[in-house]
């Protein structure tokens, strides 16, 4: 049976998942503390490879839903997502065999470990986004035909709803309405599925990848390595492509607002080092969506666009972006399952309102001349 995840691995996971989270998926700090506390109290969590799950077993993704901005002020009590899982099990009349993350992100990669530790259930090393996305239908589970409902959403006061919808877009729309009325944050158990469905529709080994990326960043300094090298090695062992440096610069403006349950905005940078004289802009909706270098598109959703602190190489969420930060922005090519025509209909640039085609970041990178423009 799979590897064991303890307090140390959660430390790495929180960092690596925030890299894959492409600015979204919540604040890694709170999620990390919550998962570590749960593991300290209840013991380590077994991480299962997707193939270790029986085809007919019930697998349930759990997550935080809402605006990360609000999450900072409404810290959960830690039992909300487990409560959602339990109510969902009761409704289905079946016990979950394992839980899993819905997405990669500082918070939504760690929160499922709280549920796993407190319930004693194993966690599957896979998820439904391969990054973070702002909406519930943006999951490979939906792209490849799994129903998102029945789902349960619980808030920190104990209010909860069981939601059933005729399609997964309506699930997003109605559950988002509930989240807003819960004060901007809810905790969900959704897309209950069989082991077979999970194997066929999820992005595999993303927890392991996140842990390896986090480890590379944390230990780069003591190994006198460039953290991007270690990150590159971790990615080379995965379905993702190698990390590409999109820009090195200082943040000169952040325009961020909370709108209809989402954190939306734009961050603007001016170049440093080889990028001095150039400028750079990223538009985000919870997650970074489109990167422009000197007004030319250099990366588009669903490829990963992540800001790292220029000093520590730790990832910065869209929440954490501040005037004056010196950062390096990287692009990471996403796995083929996230770039199919069906998948791009659900989360390509057009869905987010951009009149842009998806072009793989590795293609776009070929046209970018970094250095003084």
Shortest CB 92 distance to its own copies, Å: 12
Shortest CB 174 distance to its own copies, Å: 5
Rank residues 178 and 321 by Cβ distance to its own copies and give the closer one.
Answer: 178
Residue 153 — φ and ψ, nearest 5°? -125, 130
Per CB under 8 A, 163 contacts its own copies: yes
Collect all residues with Cβ–Cβ distance below 8 Å to 276 and sequence separation of at least 6: 372
Shortest CB 60 distance to its own copies, Å: 17
- CA distances in angstroms from 286 to 20, 24, 223, 267, 301, listed in the order given: 13, 5, 34, 12, 12
Strand partners, 297: 292
Rank residues 56 and 260 by Cβ distance to its own copies and give the closer one.
Answer: 260
Q: Of the candidates 107, 99, 80, 162, which has an alpha carbon nearest to the alpha carbon of residue 315?
A: 107
Exactly one of 108, 109, 165, 206 binds its own copies (CB under 8 A); which one? 165
CA dihedral sign, ordered 25, 29, 31, 32: positive
Q: CA-CA-CA-CA torsion for 22, 115, 231, 205, nearest 10 degrees? A: -100
Shortest CB 187 distance to its own copies, Å: 14
Per CB under 8 A, 160 contacts its own copies: yes
Exactly one of 166, 257, 355, 366 binds its own copies (CB under 8 A); which one? 166
Rank residues 173 and 354 by Cβ distance to its own copies and give the closer one.
Answer: 173
Rank residues 19 and 163 by Cβ distance to its own copies and give the closer one.
Answer: 163
Here the tokens at position 160 are 């909860």
Rank residues 176 and 293 by Cβ distance to its own copies and give the closer one.
Answer: 176
Rank residues 174 and 246 by Cβ distance to its own copies and give the closer one.
Answer: 174
Residue 248 — φ and ψ, nearest 5°? -125, 125
Shortest CB 167 distance to its own copies, Å: 9
Spell out a b/e string for 304-341, using b for 16 or more CB atoms within 10 Å of the CB, else e: bbbbbeeeebbbbbbbbbeeebebbbbbbbbbebbbee
Per CB under 8 A, 293 contacts its own copies: no
Rule CB under 8 A: which of 169-228 touch its own copies?
A: 170, 173-174, 176-178, 180-182
**Length of the chain (residues):** 373
Exactly one of 70, 162, 252, 272 binds its own copies (CB under 8 A); which one? 162
What mask, x for binding its own copies by CB under 8 A, covers residues 120 to 159? -------------------------------------xxx
Q: CA-CA-CA-CA torsion for 24, 216, 204, 29, nearest 10 degrees? A: -30
Rank residues 27 and 80 by Cβ distance to its own copies and give the closer one.
Answer: 80
Rank residues 157 and 322 by Cβ distance to its own copies and give the closer one.
Answer: 157
Shortest CB 166 distance to its own copies, Å: 5
Residue 177: CB atoms within 10 Å? 13
DSSP letters spanning 191-257: --EEHHHHHHHSEETHHHHHHHHHHHHHHTTTTT--HHHHHHHHHHTSSS---EEEEEEEEEEEEEE
Shortest CB 117 distance to its own copies, Å: 25
Return the range that interacts with its own copies (CB under 8 A); candidates 5-13, 161-169, 242-250, 360-368. 161-169
For residue 290, give the 3-state DSSP assignment: strand
Return the range that interacts with its own copies (CB under 8 A); candidates 24-32, 163-171, 209-217, 321-329. 163-171
Per CB under 8 A, 43 contacts its own copies: no
Per CB under 8 A, 1 contacts its own copies: no
Shortest CB 128 distance to its own copies, Å: 21
The residues that touch its own copies, with contacts defined as CB under 8 A, are 157-166, 170, 173-174, 176-178, 180-182
């Amino acid at each position: 049976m799979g590897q064991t995840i303890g307090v140390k691995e959660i430390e790495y996971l929180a960092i690596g998942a925030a890299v894959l989270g492409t600015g979204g998926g919540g604040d890694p700090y709170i999620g990390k503390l919550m998962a570590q506390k749960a593991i300290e109290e209840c013991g380590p969590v077994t991480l299962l490879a997707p193939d270790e799950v029986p085809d007919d077993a019930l697998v349930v993704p759990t997550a935080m839903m809402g605006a990360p901005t609000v999450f900072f002020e409404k810290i959960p009590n830690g039992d909300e997502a487990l409560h959602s899982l339990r109510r969902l099990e009761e409704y289905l009349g079946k016990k979950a065999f394992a839980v899993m993350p819905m997405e990669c992100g500082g918070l939504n990669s760690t929160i499922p470990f709280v549920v796993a530790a407190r319930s004693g259930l194993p966690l599957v090393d896979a998820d439904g986004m391969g990054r973070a996305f702002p909406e519930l239908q943006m999951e490979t589970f939906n792209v490849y035909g799994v129903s998102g409902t029945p789902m349960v959403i619980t808030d920190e006061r104990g209010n909860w709803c069981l939601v059933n919808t005729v399609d997964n877009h309506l699930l997003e729309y109605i559950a988002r309405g509930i989240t807003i009325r819960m004060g901007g944050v809810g905790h969900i158990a959704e897309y209950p599925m069989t082991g077979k469905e999970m194997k066929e529709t999820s992005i595999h080994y993303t927890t392991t990848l996140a842990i390896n990326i986090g480890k590379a960043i944390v230990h780069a300094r003591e190994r006198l390595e460039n953290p991007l090298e270690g990150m590159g090695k971790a990615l080379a062992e995965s379905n993702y492509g190698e990390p590409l440096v999109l820009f090195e610069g200082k943040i000169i403006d952040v325009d961020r607002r909370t709108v209809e349950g989402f954190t939306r905005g734009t961050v603007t940078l001016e170049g440093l080092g080889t990028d001095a004289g150039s400028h750079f802009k990223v538009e985000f909706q919870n997650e970074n969506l489109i990167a422009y270098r000197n007004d030319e598109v250099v990366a588009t959703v669903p490829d990963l666009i992540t800001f790292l602190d220029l000093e520590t190489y730790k990832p910065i969420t869209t929440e954490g972006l501040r005037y004056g930060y010196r950062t390096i922005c990287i692009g990471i090519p996403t796995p083929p399952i996230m770039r199919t025509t069906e998948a791009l209909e659900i989360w390509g640039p057009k869905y987010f309102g951009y009149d842009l085609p998806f072009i793989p970041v590795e293609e776009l990178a070929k046209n970018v001349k970094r250095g003084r423009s």
